[in-house]
Chain A
Amino acid sequence: MGKFLNILKNLELRPQEAFPELSEELKKIAISDGIQAAYNRLLQAEVILNVRKPKLAIYDHAFHFIGGAQKYGLSMISTLQDQFDITIISNKGVSHPHFSRWYDLDLSHCEIKVIELPYFEDKNINHLDPASISKDEKNPFHPVSKESGNYDFFINNSMNEMVYPLSNISVMVCHFPERRPKTYFYADQYSLIVYNSRYTAEWIKKKWDLTPHELIYPPVDMEPELENTQKKKVILSVARFEVEGTKRQEEMIHTFLKLNLEYPKIMENWTFKLVGGSDVKNPYLQRLENLVAQNSDKNIQLKVNIPIHELKSLYQESTLFWHLCGLTHRDPSEIEHFGMTTVEAMQNKVVPIVYDGGGLREIVDHGIDGFRVRSKAELFNHTLKLCQDDEHVRKLSENAQKKSQEFLRSKFEERIHRVFTKLLQTYKRFE
């Protein structure tokens, strides 16, 4: 390493004489450690000698879908555009207007590269699921692994441990360790593992037996445009209408109905609004619609796939926020890994009453800025108390807004800058 650094120093002072030395050294590296290692060394030399900006690629096999994890990765690179030459690697066609429309991010300085994977293309599969690859099949993600070797930095933002990193510096962003280490598992080959909550870190340790490195909470930017908007007697739930019902909207509707049945006077002016995205065909949503229709006199509203401005105004007018994702779970992945919508509610002074588990424990401090519950009965009790105590609601909502500041986009960007500046410094020092 020292010898190579000397060659680089000589290259700056007397390039004509030092260049053959560099060439000779790279040949030696190619023989001992392989062509990729020699190429990597040359890439690093270019950055140290300021020949060019460091090149960074970010990969996600689901960039062609709108999603929270994808927003996380793209927000990450939007803050790094000045420091790096960035390439976005996708397996399906996407464009800058897509990202701008979906996430309100200007990534015009980033190049987009589509690497189609024959395994999925031949089967005409749009949803690329790494879990569907059995041990008898060849790893279909190797074209991405190969591509990773063309950059100084490679970020794997997908929940896909089947991509082997060949770049000098590699970062895996783990949103949750979905699978156990089986076939084609390379998460332990990355230089750095970034995780989105302590809950995710706990499961990385349990499932992968790895200690992740950097905690960076997702950016949440649902701050109200107008301060002190008049609150209404609205209980809000914002969660996707999953076909499996893992967000527990049905249970919440039953709790609201029970509150109405047992305490009609207290609940008479309260409305329960359930907001979420859904595909066209969704039997679970159909069931909820039937349930709401059967109780049409009980102020329950379902709002599916609403535009962002409507969601913002709902956050601003609501008083309480319910989130029961995780209740009666059968797998740790069924609990909220972080809980972005809860933070969004808190940014708008909506008091959260959420399931006591997963990432939600890191967001809501029980009794201080909201409540954490383990059953429908607890949800019932805390809601009933708050529906009768405006002063308590006011206090909790103030605290909730204060706590939500920890998850602002500015904090996220600060953390990203800190981590990548440190990595880049190390890279340039040739460590």
Chain B
Amino acid sequence: MTKLKKELYDKKEEIRDINELANKEIDRKLHSPIEDFSERELESLLDEHHSLLAKSVNPLPEKMVIPSHRKIIGKPIVWIKRRLLNVVSAYVTPIMVKQTAFNQKCVELYQALILHQKKLRKKINHMEERVSECEAHLDIISKKLKELDTKLEQNE
């Protein structure tokens, strides 16, 4: 039995892929509904999405490089591709520039909304604190009033 166990163990150790060991695809696409998120979760989601959006403002590649892979016909192919790219770019670039400007505005707006919401949250926190303090004061005042009432009754 020990020998059999060692054989199986050695075979098992050779396997690197957990899916193979589990004998199934272990990763699934999972989704959590945003409506259930807590305030803190929503805040980190907003920040996460903001940085993702900011990264993809400009859809244009920095510089298009067309490499050559073939010895003899490579050069003419590259030449044709470059010509084609120039022609297409003339039509596409103005649209892309507009799109980039629009994206930029969206990201700025999104950031402004996040900041606005954070400032509002801060104000609400402050107000909640003040309300709670006022409640405590009210409690104390009403208690003291009762004490005074009792004293007055006793004096009368």
Contacts and interface: CB of A to CB of B under 8 A. Distances in A.
Given A206-B36, A377-B135, A164 B1 contact: no
A287 interface: no
A45 B8 CA distance: 14
Interface string B97-141: 000000000000000000000000000010010001101100110
A184 B27 contact: yes
A257 to B, nearest CB: 12
A375 B43 CA distance: 25
B8 A39 contact: yes
B32 A181 contact: yes
B125 to A, nearest CB: 7
A381 B139 contact: yes
A96 B119 CA distance: 50
B40 interface: yes
A26 B23 CA distance: 15
B91 interface: no
Contact of A142 (B1, B18, B125): B18
A381 B20 CA distance: 62
Band of interface residues on B: 20 to 34
B132 A376 contact: yes
Contacts of B26: 164, 186, 189
Nearest to B40: A331
A258 interface: yes
B156 interface: no
B41 A38 contact: no
A212 B12 CA distance: 31
B88 interface: no
A37 B20 CA distance: 11
A183 B26 CA distance: 11
Interface in B38-93: 38-41, 43
Interface string B10-21: 011001001011
A119 interface: no
Interface string A204-228: 0011000000000000000000000
A389 interface: no
B152 interface: no
Interface in A295-353: 328, 330-332, 334
A203 to B, nearest CB: 10
A39 B139 contact: no
Contacts of A284: none
B39 A262 contact: no
A83 interface: no
B122 to A, nearest CB: 12
A426 B4 CA distance: 25
Contacts of A328: 125, 128
B4 A26 contact: yes
A23 B136 contact: no
A420 interface: no
Contacts of B22: 34, 36, 164, 166
B8 A38 contact: yes
B32 A35 contact: no
Contacts of B8: 26, 30, 35, 38-39, 42
A206 B33 CA distance: 11
Interface in A155-196: 164, 166, 180-186, 189
B23 A36 contact: yes
Contacts of B30: 181-183, 185
Interface string A23-49: 100100010011111110010011000
A262 B9 contact: no
A150 B8 CA distance: 11
B15 A35 contact: yes
A330 B40 contact: yes
B151 interface: no
A375 B132 contact: yes
A23 B1 CA distance: 9
A46 B32 contact: no
Contacts of A181: 30, 32
Given A26-B8, A146-B21, A328-B125, 8 more contacts: A23-B4, A26-B4, A34-B23, A39-B12, A164-B18, A166-B22, A180-B32, A183-B27
Interface of B: 1, 4-5, 8-9, 11-12, 15, 18, 20-23, 26-28, 30, 32, 36, 38-41, 43, 125, 128, 132-133, 135-136, 139-140, 143
Q: Which 7 A-B pairs have the closest CB atoms?
A: A34-B23, A331-B40, A377-B136, A180-B32, A330-B39, A331-B38, A36-B21
11 contacts: A22-B4, A30-B11, A34-B20, A34-B22, A35-B11, A36-B22, A39-B12, A42-B1, A145-B18, A164-B26, A185-B30
